[in-house]
C-alpha cells in the first residue's frame, strides 16, 4: 500500500533517495536544492541509510566525486541548482562520454544575472546537450516518481547515461503537497541492485576510464553515445510501463492534456503546466478546442511522437521558461519546430518566453496565449514568432 504524505519536492526526492539507499552522495549546498542533502544528512545521522555521504568543496567536485564513485562500482548521486549546475558543466560532459550513470537532482533555478534564486529552466536548458537524460516533473508526485525510475533508466546496459531529475525551484522544491509515497521494500525491489560488469575496484581485471581519444576514435565514440540516447527512449517507456504495473501511475515522454481534437495547443513543461491546464479546462467549457502537451522527457527529445500529436492542431504556442539569446526563440521552441518540420500537415508555431527568474505565470496569462492562438488559427496570420510575456513594457 502506498502511503499518503505531505512532502515538499525536495523532501520527496530525499525520501526516494533514502529508499534507494545509494552508495555515495557527494553534496555541495546551493539554493533551492540544498534541502535535499540536508534531509539526507539527517537520514545518515539517524542510521536510516548506509550511504557514504561526503561534503565536498564545490559542485565541480561533487560531480567529480560521483564519477569516481560510479566508476568504482557504486550508485552515486548528488543534487544542485543554477550556478552549481553551470559549475559542473565540464564534468557533466565527462559523465556522458564516460557513460557513468550518475543520477543528479536539479531544483531548476535562474542563472545570473542579475543573480536570482527563483525558478526558470536556464540552468538545466543550458546543459541540454551535455549527454544527460533529462526528466521533468510537474509536481511533487511526478518528481518523486521520476526519481524512482531514474536509476533503472540510467543504468540500463543499452543506455548507461547520466540522468537529471528536474523539479521547479521553490514552486516544486519547497511547496508542500499530498503525495503517494511507496513502501520502502517495494521501492527497493523496483529499483533493484546495481551490478556493473566492470568497475575500478573489480579484482579480476582492471578498468581504465577516460582516455585521450584521437580523431580516429572520437567520432565513433560520439556516435555510440548518441545511439545510447536513442536507446534511452524505449528504456524510458519500458521502465514507465513497469512502474505503472507496480505502482499504478502512468508516464510517457509527455502528457497529452485534452489533445484528442485540439485545434489550439500549448507545449509546456513543469509546474506551469498545472496553471495552463486550468486555462484549457476553462476554454473547453466555452467550447474552444484547446489542449496542451506537457513535456516530461526533454532528453532524449521525443520529436517524432510530439509531432504526431501536434499535426492535427492549427496553432501551437511553445512556452519556453528560459531565454536562449538566440534572437529567434528558446530551446523548447527549437526542438518542437524541428520535430514538426517534416510533417505534411503542421500547425503554425509561435514561441513565448515567460516566467524568467520566478516571474508569475497565471491562468489569465495562459488564456491570453490561447486567445492569440485562436486568432492565428482563424486568420493564418502568425505575427511575431518569438515574443516574451509577463515583463513590463514602456
Binding site for another protein (CB under 8 A): 23-24, 26, 50-52, 54-58, 60-62, 64-74, 76, 90-91, 94, 97-100, 160, 197-198, 200-203, 205-214, 216-217, 219-221, 223-224, 227
Instruction: Please identify, using beta-carbon distances, which residue of 105 and 110 lies nearer to another protein.
Output: 105
Are 9 and 107 in contact by the 8 Å Cβ rule? The answer is: yes
Are 144 and 15 in contact by the 8 Å Cβ rule? The answer is: yes
Give the C-alpha separation, 179 to 170, whole Å: 17
Instruction: Please identify, using beta-carbon distances, which residue of 83 and 175 lies nearer to another protein.
Output: 83
**At its nearest, how many Å lie between another protein and the CB of residue 151?**
16
Give the C-alpha separation, 169 to 107, whole Å: 5
The count of other CB atoms within 10 Å of the CB of residue 38 is 14
Give the C-alpha separation, 243 to 264, whole Å: 32
Instruction: Please identify, using beta-carbon distances, which residue of 175 and 200 lies nearer to another protein.
Output: 200
**At its nearest, how many Å lie between another protein and the CB of residue 310?**
33
Q: What is the DSSP string of 262-317?
A: -SEEEEEETTHHHHHHHHHHHHHHTT--EEEEEESEEES--HHHHHHHHTT-SEEE
Instruction: Please identify, using beta-carbon distances, which residue of 114 and 211 lies nearer to another protein.
Output: 211
**At its nearest, how many Å lie between another protein and the CB of residue 48?**
15
Instruction: Please identify, using beta-carbon distances, which residue of 57 and 393 lies nearer to another protein.
Output: 57
**At its nearest, how many Å lie between another protein and the CB of residue 73?**
6
Give the C-alpha separation, 250 to 252, whole Å: 7
> Nearest-CA neighbor of 84 among 102, 121, 103, 111?
111
**At its nearest, how many Å lie between another protein and the CB of residue 209?**
4
Instruction: Please identify, using beta-carbon distances, which residue of 200 and 363 lies nearer to another protein.
Output: 200
**At its nearest, how many Å lie between another protein and the CB of residue 86?**
15
> Nearest-CA neighbor of 79 among 12, 175, 160?
12
Amino acid at each position: 500500500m502506498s502511503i499518503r504524505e505531505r512532502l515538499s519536492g525536495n523532501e520527496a526526492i530525499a525520501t526516494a533517495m533514502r529508499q534507494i539507499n545509494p552508495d555515495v552522495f557527494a553534496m555541495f549546498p546551493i539554493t533551492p536544492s540544498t534541502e535535499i542533502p540536508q534531509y539526507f544528512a539527517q537520514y545518515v545521522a539517524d542510521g536510516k541509510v548506509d550511504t557514504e555521504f561526503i561534503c565536498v568543496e564545490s559542485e565541480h567536485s561533487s560531480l567529480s566525486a560521483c564519477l569516481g564513485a560510479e566508476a568504482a562500482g557504486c550508485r552515486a548521486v548528488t543534487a544542485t541548482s543554477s550556478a552549481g549546475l553551470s559549475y559542473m558543466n565540464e564534468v557533466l560532459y565527462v559523465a556522458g562520454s564516460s557513460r557513468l550513470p550518475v543520477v543528479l537532482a536539479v531544483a531548476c533555478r535562474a542563472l545570473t544575472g542579475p543573480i536570482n534564486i527563483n525558478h526558470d529552466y536556464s540552468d538545466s536548458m543550458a546543459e541540454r546537450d551535455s549527454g544527460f537524460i533529462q526528466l521533468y516533473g510537474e509536481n511533487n508526485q511526478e518528481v518523486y516518481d521520476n526519481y524512482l525510475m531514474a536509476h533503472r533508466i540510467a543504468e540500463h546496459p543499452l543506455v548507461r547515461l547520466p540522468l537529471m531529475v528536474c523539479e521547479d525551484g521553490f514552486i516544486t522544491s519547497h511547496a508542500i503537497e499530498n503525495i503517494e509515497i511507496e513502501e520502502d521494500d517495494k521501492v527497493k525491489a523496483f529499483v533493484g541492485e546495481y551490478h556493473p560488469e566492470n568497475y575500478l575496484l573489480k579484482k579480476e581485471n582492471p578498468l581504465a576510464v577516460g582516455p585521450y581519444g584521437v580523431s580516429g576514435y572520437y567520432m565513433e565514440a560520439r556516435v555510440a553515445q548518441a545511439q545510447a540516447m536513442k536507446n534511452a527512449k524505449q528504456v524510458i517507456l519500458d521502465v514507465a510501463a513497469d512502474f505503472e504495473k507496480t505502482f499504478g501511475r502512468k508516464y510517457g515522454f509527455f502528457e497529452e492534456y485534452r489533445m484528442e481534437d485540439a485545434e489550439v495547443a500549448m507545449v509546456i513543461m513543469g509546474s506551469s503546466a498545472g496553471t495552463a491546464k486550468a486555462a484549457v479546462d476553462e476554454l473547453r467549457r466555452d467550447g474552444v478546442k484547446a489542449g496542451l502537451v506537457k513535456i516530461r522527457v526533454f532528453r532524449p527529445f521525443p520529436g517524432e511522437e510530439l509531432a504526431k500529436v501536434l499535426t492535427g492542431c492549427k496553432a501551437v504556442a511553445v512556452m519556453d521558461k528560459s531565454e536562449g539569446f538566440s534572437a529567434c526563440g528558446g530551446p523548447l521552441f527549437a526542438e518542437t519546430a524541428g520535430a514538426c518540420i517534416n510533417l505534411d500537415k503542421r500547425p503554425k508555431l509561435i514561441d513565448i518566453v515567460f516566467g524568467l527568474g520566478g516571474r508569475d505565470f497565471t491562468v489569465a496569462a495562459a488564456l491570453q496565449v490561447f486567445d492569440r492562438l485562436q486568432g492565428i488559427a482563424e486568420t493564418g496570420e502568425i505575427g511575431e514568432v518569438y515574443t516574451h510575456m509577463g515583463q513590463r513594457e514602456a
